Amino acid sequence: MCAAFYRGPAINSIDGSAARAFAAARLYIAHAFANPNGSPSGMQPVISVQNLVKKYASGLHALKGINLDIRRGEIFALLGPNGAGKTTLINIICGIVNATSGSVLVDGHHFRKDYRAARSLIGLVPQELTTDAFESVLATVKFSRLLFGKRPNAAFLEKVLRDLTLWERKDSKIMTLSGGMKRRVMIAKALSHEPQILFLDEPTAGVDVELRQDMWNIVRDLRASGVTIILTTHYIEEAEHMADRIGVINGGELILVEEKAELMRKLGKKQLTLHLQQPLAAIPDALATHRLTLSASGMDLTYSYDTQGERTGITALLQDLNRTGIRFKDLETTQSSLEDIFVGLVRQER
């Protein structure tokens, strides 16, 4: 019995033993439906990938038992080096590539048994800009909507094109558009059938910095409207700025899935840089235990420490600096970025 379906008397009107039994049942259900990948208790993930394997005839083992749940309404960033399996995973979920084994549920619909319903919920913006160069913007977006069996809806398509700043170019042939505008058309095509889930495979590849910022704003607006976003990118700052959770894939294996803030809290290192009053030719032996790094100019000492440790070692370092007569005029602290963490994780897996 779950509280959401309970139709009996109010909890405060039943006797104590019944109340305790009801509470125990509710606790049991909460545990039974708890999601190991981090979805809220009792809430079905919008995408659930179970033991997904892909082997090609060439012998390439592209995916090796991937398990992943995507929460409804989140921005999930999938990071990995070239050939890690990111695009293969996306293509299987979207129905473009067949899996060797395993299963995918899209909002409860099996990717094989109920593939029409599953695919109708998904929009995909691929890496490559593939569309009819001689067609107009509006015509190609209309066509994409009709491919999914959706009735014409001029008002909705106008809103999509206006949101993507494409409405003024609706009658332009796609061949006349800039690369950034073509990328926006791909997003409009993916959104034309009103999907609940949007996959963005390297959405800002080859676009300039200003347009990349615009694309980030578009993604945030889509998430605010209720669309779940799955993003792959080589620009790790995109994941750092936008994602709610981060997944790292390497060699066909999902090596980590974590809340972005928690990932940076647990794996991020801090550095203390001391700007010295006088240059050093070398680090004195008395400071060797601190594993300091001396800059090429001899004017900066850098100390790395773990913020999660019981002791940072900073106090001992400052005491040893004082004893050796080394004086500094300023200091600053920095924390490792998501890119630093990503590079470290991938190196560990090699």
3-state helix, strand, coil in the chain (%, to 5): 40, 25, 35
What DSSP line would sit under 216-232, residue for residue?
A: HHHHHHHHHTT-EEEEE
Any alpha helices (H) in 3-114, and if so which ranges?
16-32, 86-93
Q: Are 65 and 103 in contact (CB under 8 A)?
A: no
Mean pLDDT in residue range 72-83: 88
Question: How confident is the model over 105-154, as pLDDT tens digits?
Answer: 999 999 999 999 999 999 999 877 777 889 999 999 999 999 999 999 99
pLDDT at position 343, please?
A: 63
What is the rounded CA–CA span in Å between residue 297 and residue 279? 7
With 0.95 as the threshold, say if the pTM is over it: no
Over 50: is that where the pLDDT of 240 sits?
Answer: yes
| Gap between the terminal Cα atoms of the chain | 48
Among residues of the chain, what percentage have pLDDT more than 90? 39
Please state, as a whole number, how many other Cβ atoms lie within 10 Å of the Cβ of residue 110: 13
pLDDT at position 337, please?
A: 55
What DSSP line would sit under 312-342, residue for residue?
A: -SHHHHHHHHHHTT--EEEEEEEE--HHHHH
pLDDT at position 332, please?
A: 80
Provide the 8-state DSSP code for 152. Answer: P
